[in-house]
Structure 1
Amino acid sequence: MKKAFFTLFSIFILVACSKDHDSSAQPNSPLKADQYPQQWKLVKMTGSIADIPPAIGENMEWQEDYLLQSDGTFIKTRERENNTTTVKGTYAFVKLSDGTYLELIHESENTLLCNCSAELKEYLKLDTDTDLIGTCWACDGPGLFYKRIK
């Protein structure tokens, strides 16, 4: 009896451990981390005053998205009051002490750069595989929340 139990237990362990896991697949999402181009769309914004409710969709002050290309370049586009502004630069996903961030390095100074320093770098925290959070909120900028749509 012990031999049969041991054999069944061993087979169970072998089957359970042999399952192939794809680390690039994102649970609950058809999007993969290494799939490009990636489009991240601004879906919600908040102000620095706590009692003002967040703006969502068409009710936001502007519409904005990032397009990440496989060659490490990005395009950021903002549409505000029928004016479209586009900036470019390079990006990388970097691991910092409190998580993974999308680091964007802009080609030049511009009005779309949202950060807490004088650098041409912008950081967005990767909250989930399909959610980014802007970090200029920390220095009284707007709270910006992005969703990966492509």
Structure 2
Amino acid sequence: MKKQTFFLMVIGVLFSCNKNDDSINLESEIIGSWKLIQMTGSIPNSETTGSEMDWQETYQLNSNGTFQKSRERDGVVTEVSGTYNLTDNSKEQLLELNFNSESEIIGSCTSNIKETMIFQSETIFYNSWNACDGPGLKYEKIE
């Protein structure tokens, strides 16, 4: 009887596991402000942080699926907005940002109106722009 009970418990545990257990639950965690905390270039050891970065930047992700991106560079603030969605590929969770219009502050390899961010953790994401010689940009959730 003990063997049967143990066997049923093992089977129950195995079938209760979900293949997405390793993924980050981001549905509600992404809402809020995200701030640029690090820039890297294509030259090794070219990392900058804080006020040493070429610009300061934030994303505000709203619960209704919209966002606003704001960049301050040389005292000039540029803002753009759009909608976002979360997707999973086979290796990582992605944040796709679809802008309402083209802007010089959109950093993308493939489109003038779309950015893709890759989640490192629930509080850190980074862009995919560096895959095509753009700067590597890392963001942290601040609220």
Partner of residue 142 from structure 2, selected from 127, 133, 149: 149
- On the 8 A contact 1:33/1:129 being kept in 2, the answer is no
Count of residue pairs brought into register by the alignment: 126
User: What residue is the counterpart of 1:47 in the other structure?
Assistant: 41
Report whether the alignment pairs 1:64 with 2:60.
no
Instruction: Quote the offset at 1:119 in angstroms.
Output: 4.8
Q: Which amino acid aligns with 2:86?
A: F
Query: C-alpha offsets along residues 107-150 of structure 1, whole Å, 9 cap, x if unaligned?
Result: 01111111101352100101101000110000000010000111
**SS, match of residue 44 in structure 1:** strand
Q: Distance in 2 between matches of 1:132 and 1:62?
A: 18
User: What residue is the counterpart of 1:133 in the other structure?
Assistant: 126
Q: Distance in 2 between matches of 1:127 and 1:91?
A: 18
- On the 8 A contact 2:29/2:122 being kept in 1, the answer is no
Q: Distance in 1 between matches of 2:48 and 2:29?
A: 30
User: What residue is the counterpart of 2:115 in the other structure?
Assistant: 122
**SS, match of residue 51 in structure 2:** helix
User: What residue is the counterpart of 2:86 in the other structure?
Assistant: 93
Query: C-alpha offsets along residues 62-83 of structure 1, whole Å, 9 cap, x if unaligned?
Result: 0001000011000000000000
Query: What are structure 2's unaligned runs of at least 5 residues?
Result: 14-20
- On the 8 A contact 2:106/2:112 being kept in 1, the answer is no
The 4+ residue runs of structure 1 with deviation greater than 6 A are none
Distance 1:134 1:79, change over 3 A: same
Query: What are structure 1's unaligned runs of at least 5 residues?
Result: 1-5, 18-22, 27-31
Q: Distance in 2 between matches of 1:65 and 1:107?
A: 17
Instruction: Quote the offset at 1:36 in angstroms.
Output: 6.9
- On the 8 A contact 2:100/2:113 being kept in 1, the answer is yes
Distance 1:102 1:36, change over 3 A: closer
User: What residue is the counterpart of 2:28 in the other structure?
Assistant: 34
Distance 1:36 1:144, change over 3 A: closer
Instruction: Quote the offset at 1:100 in angstroms.
Output: 0.3
Identity %, equivalent residues? 38
Q: Distance in 2 between matches of 1:103 and 1:36?
A: 12
- On the 8 A contact 2:119/2:126 being kept in 1, the answer is yes
Q: Distance in 1 between matches of 2:106 and 2:112?
A: 9
Q: Please report the TM-score for the alignment, with normalisation by the length of structure 2.
A: 0.79
